[in-house]
Structure 1
């Protein structure tokens, strides 16, 4: 199509352009344009210009408009373009098109407009256009000025999408796609949560995967990720439209539930979640048991805030895991008071590590085959300024929760080696020492090196040390990780014992998985050896199996002469317990050893208690 002739451009009448009446006889209230002076400019400008009558029919368009809409003036003259330029799906009803008429008082003349339009060839583009009112001898005309801004709009859209992706990434967990802590904070500060809190209709579930570290260590991190994704999918299933499911770190998740009016409703939601984990997750043709422990808390007071509820749910979760895992625990004020006491103890325990409140007691170990005291186990004690002397069981879990368990282990190491050095200096050079270590310290890659340095600085040898680990330590630290740590200790020259054997976690499997030199029968096995024939048979079988494996056995918790006699009959190599001596400070142990060694040759063969009671520590 060629350039339109100048004579084809509508010429507004000079008088009409300034003040003439409109086609309907009313006086125009806005300025109108006069294009009669610039016909060549209209033909040559890069902006597309279309002139329509008051009903929207095309009367003229410049070459730029022909190019923009891929059409010609001859093809569109006399038609209403709105019927043709809108993309599919955005068409206007033909009846409305036919009835359309510009309102010269309309606000469309006061601003630019952006719309997605369609060319005659079907291609769509973004059109930035404006409307100008013209007055001509034949009535009002509308000049539509158009500019193709597709490139600019698409760039802006790309930037907005990129910004949205960044914002989503900043507020969501990379692996699971659930909300993260930052999004949780925003959610808790929202008006909808504030209203629900005021109505006491908010519940929080704090979830933690049971034995997640074991999944990672035995099957690999890909399996661990699969377990996390499985839990995330479960949370989405139980997450209401106004609720929020979050992964707040590691294997911990939160579900904030709005509209929860009763504890029963919240516990029902938690139990359904727990029940959904009954079926194993199939991963690479392997069945993975994904267990959950859940702490639940319901808003009880309109003054509570979201962070308080989360803290209470966390306290309930800790209680659930303490009671055996794979369960739901509801927060109560009484539970909160227990937690407050534990938090106080945690603060005091941190002080204890710096104020020399920790000490060790020693308990002797008897080699039954030779009738000799061969070593001692050191047991940590806390001389609490308010509660008196506390055994490890009174503060072990508090130390773990407070993150100071490894610190206690290292202090116990130094205190124990100091005690061993004093025993040697007192003339008991043949005695060895057993010391306990948690998963937190044992999995520290520096543990073996620090133990070696501590030994050398005191003139002691690694062969004089036995490091005791529990089956719980193996499960918490992960089998492979613990096995590697044990290998480091054995390369150093230290012996390793599996403590509390038979407490019901994994049993004999750990003897084959981790190369230990000794197992220590838990006191639960020795307690009933004199009264339960089945228990007695189990103890004999374990001792016989360990003999074939070349693994030394020490029976713990031996309290009576009859238990001692039966263990001799079962050919148990060594014992430890109150029948021999109670744990006592190093100075008292030196005095005890001096007073009672050598032991009578028939010690433990005769059930006469008079032969053993004298070996208890003196008052």
Structure 2
């Protein structure tokens, strides 16, 4: 070994061992020079550079290999033997490809025999990470760094390999990568269903939009929402609901296959992105298959649950719409599907988009007017058939619509999305209505009452009863002259206790309660058992044509009789003719309102109307 190190190529090997060995040698010699005494011979105690190199290479952790241009090993250091398990004698004259390659990377005998380094492509500093096999069969990751020691001829050129066993580092990196992959998957996928989540959908759709190159780059969106999913949770529990959601995800994945991405974006809403759809026909086929798949019963705890959904479809040029715009269009298409009867699909159209933009502008104007309280309050008179005079007024808040004139702003809003605005409108009606009724009572010297329709938005507001009580006190108006009307459609038998408790807070301050739109087909007489009401208002559906229908007359008479037995006052809404008013009086109805009494009026008009009105008998 000493003789080998002393040969000419060793001096070149010193250079290619790198900066570390150079610093080691220089530092050692400088240290010896600084620590020596004057006149002392500062020759290294090892005698020469070859001795220093011999010490370094024999104790290095990295394996060192010298090969000829044909890859045959001419020399190795002890570390190489420790790494591979092969002694220097076992590998000298052989090529590494003969004994360290794993089976999947094994070369044929002919390829090994014909191997030769291509010096036109192979240069110093090249690195390679390769899976090798030790003599005992154990696998390890070998990081190779190559250096070329050019000789006078190509045949004299040597290839130096520095070998490092980096198995532990590679395994650690694999573990980190696995953790990163798992965390990335968790961050991008829904835990319950396993499909992508909203974040993954957004990034995927943005990539598709960015990759769109022209009008032929179509992107399809399928927006799916389960119909009446809340009923499944309420009736069968959240475990059943989770099963239905997983079923929905499986249906979408089965229909989509590898055509794109399926994502759950929240609750019971799913979105599928169809990559490169062929056209509207394929999109509709996907929509139909999804609806058919959802229609199949889902078995939960030995029960078959019926599931249905609505589907919104979008097909767009990826270069003309952003990812957020595509999702927005899918929302509108889904809404159109639900509005047209559910359990079907609907397309997004430009007309649908234009209508939504118009509605959005209208809602923006309404929001601004609500902030400025730019609303109008009309009074619809209620007439006492017994006393033959105006007995009270129903407060009707109105908003000046940009194109439709005065409208009921509550009907433009959604209780789920606009509850705060609805409560604000109803507060305006109560506050303005009480002030105007006080003025009317003083001007006409008549104790007229005020009826106000309230929705759940106000019924659930804990501060609303206190507001009414305060306004009544400030305006010297008895709380008993405030009638809280609520549509019978908001009363649910499975939630009667909650509504009854809410209404009880209004009763506690002295307000009267009336069940509005009674007999419209959305409720029943059983509601009167659950609610502590003071009156009922018969729906216009029953009043219209009551003079010509014996069945309607019998039904109205039954309602009047039932209400009377319960001590409830009966009003009728939508009374348009004197004949209807006369019949209702004969049937025992107490109050009527409608065109025969008067259209909704401004407070000033109501004052004049109260003084001059006489009910026509024919």
The answer on whether the counterparts of 2:218 and 2:318 sit within 8 Å (CA) in structure 1 is no
- Listed one character per residue, the Cα deviations across residues 270-315 of structure 1 (whole Å, up to 9, x for unaligned) are 3433343334555566666554344434337974555444444444
Which is helix-richer, 1 or 2? Answer: 2
1:45 matched to 2:71? The reply is no
Name stretches of at least 5 consecutive residues in structure 1 with no aligned partner. 1-5, 20-33, 598-608, 614-619
- 1:443·1:481 contact (CA, 8 Å) conserved in 2? no
* Counterparts of residues 214-253 of structure 1 (less than 5 Å): 228-239=245-256, 241-249=258-266, 251-253=268-270
Provide the residue aligned with 2:361 in structure 1: 344
Q: Hey, what's the Cα distance between the residues in 2 that align with 1:496 and 1:434? A: 9
What is the DSSP-based 3-state SS (H/G/I as helix, E as strand, rest coil) of the residue aligned with 1:339? helix
Name the counterpart of 1:606.
Answer: none
Aligned pair partner of 1:500 in 510, 517, 534 = 517
Contact map agreement 1:349 1:399 (CA 8 A) in 2: no
> 2 CA distance for matches of 1:85 and 1:543?
100
* Equivalent in 111, 116, 125 of residue 110 of structure 1: 125
Tell me the alpha carbon deviations over residues 36-84 of structure 1, each in whole angstroms, 9 at most, x when there is no partner. Answer: 8633322222223456676667776555445444676677777765566
Choose 145-154 or 73-82, whichever is displaced more.
73-82
Cα RMSD, aligned residues only: 4.9
With over 3 angstroms needed to count, the CA separation of the structure-2 counterparts of 1:75 and 1:522, relative to structure 1, is farther
> 1:147: which partner in 2?
164
Alpha carbons 2:123, 2:148 under 8 Å: kept: no
Residues 18/79 of structure 1: CA separation in 2 closer, same or farther (3 Å cut):
closer
1:129 corresponds in structure 2 to 144
1:523 Cα deviation from its structure 2 partner: 1.6
C-alpha separation between the residues in 2 aligned to 1:258 and 1:168? 21
CA gap 1:568/1:133 in 2 versus in 1, 3 angstroms:
same
Residue 583 (structure 1) aligned with residue 600 (structure 2): yes
| Aligned counterpart in structure 2 of residue 101 of structure 1, from 89, 112, 115 | 115
> In structure 2, what is the equivalent of residue 415 of structure 1?
432
The alignment's TM-score, normalised by the length of structure 2, stands at: 0.73
Deviations 1:353-406 (A, max 9, x none): 244442222234456688786543222222457654334587457997798434
* Partner SS for 2:604: helix
Cα distance in structure 1, aligned partners of 2:528 and 2:244: 28
Q: Provide the C-alpha distance between the structure 1 equivalents of 2:504 and 2:299, rounded to a whole number of angstroms.
A: 33
Structure-2 change in CA distance of 1:51 and 1:279 (3 Å): same
Quick check: 1:14 aligned with 2:8?
yes
* Deviation at residue 93 of structure 1 after TM alignment: 4.8
| Partner Cα distance (1:200, 1:489) in 2 | 60
What is aligned with 1:360? 377
1:147–1:210 CA distance, 2 compared to 1 (3 A): same
Stretches of structure 2 that go unaligned for 5 or more consecutive residues are 14-48
Aligned residues of 2:375 and 2:398 also touching (Cα < 8 A):
yes
Deviation at 1:114, TM superposition (A): 2.2
**1:434-449 equivalent positions in 2, closer than 5 A:** 434-444=451-461, 446-449=463-466
Q: Secondary structure at the match of 2:595?
A: coil
Q: Secondary structure at the match of 1:499?
A: strand
Cα deviation for residue 14 of structure 1 reads 1.4
Distance across 1 between alignment mates of 2:178 and 2:200: 19
Q: Deviations over 1:512-548 (max 9, x none)?
A: 7766655443322332433444445555555566667
Distance of 1:301 and 1:158 partners within structure 2: 39
1:72-471 equivalence runs, <5 A: 82=97, 85=100, 90-93=104-107, 95=109, 98-99=112-113, 101-103=115-117, 105=119, 107=122, 110-119=125-134, 124-132=139-147, 143-164=160-181, 167-168=184-185, 176=193, 178-179=195-196, 182-190=199-207, 195=212, 198-199=215-216, 201-212=218-229, 228-239=245-256, 241-249=258-266, 251-260=268-277, 262-283=279-300, 290-299=307-316, 303-365=320-382, 375-384=392-401, 387-392=404-409, 395=412, 404-426=421-443, 430-444=447-461, 446-460=463-477, 462-470=479-487
Q: How does 1:571-610 map to 2 (within 5 A)?
A: 574-595=591-612, 610=616
Corresponding residue pairs, total? 579
1:92 Cα offset (Å): 1.9
Summarize the Cα distance change of 1:321–1:430 in structure 2 as closer, same or farther, 3 Å threshold.
Answer: farther
* Residue equivalent to 1:556: 573
8 Å contact kept, 1:188–1:194: no
SS of the equivalent of 1:107 reads: coil
Q: 1:441 to 1:107 in 2, by over 3 A?
A: farther
For 2:547, the equivalent position in structure 1 comes to: 530
Q: Residue deviations 1:557-607, cap 9 Å, x none?
A: 23334544555566556544334443322333344444559xxxxxxxxxx
Taking the aligned partners of 1:551 and 1:287, their CA distance within structure 2 comes to: 44
CA contact (8 A) 2:222 2:272 kept: yes
TM-score by length of 1: 0.73
| Structure 2 contact 537–573 (Cα < 8 Å) conserved | yes
Q: Secondary structure at the match of 1:530?
A: helix
**Are the equivalent residues in 1 in contact too, given 2:337–2:346 (CA < 8 A)?**
yes
What is the CA–CA distance in structure 2 between the aligned matches of 1:86 and 1:509, rounded to whole Å?
Answer: 85
* Aligned partner of residue 256 in structure 2, secondary structure: coil
Rounded Cα–Cα distance in structure 2 between residues aligned with 1:430 and 1:226: 59
Q: Name the SS for the 2:212 alignment partner.
A: helix
Report SS of the residue matched to 1:110.
coil
Q: 1:263 to 1:488 in 2, by over 3 A?
A: farther
| Whole-angstrom distance in 2 between the partners of 1:487 and 1:84 | 90
Aligned 8 A contact 1:196 1:202 in 2:
no
- Over 3 Å counting, the alpha-carbon distance change for 1:550 and 1:531 in structure 2 is same
Give the secondary-structure state (helix, strand or coil) at the position aligned to 2:61.
Answer: coil
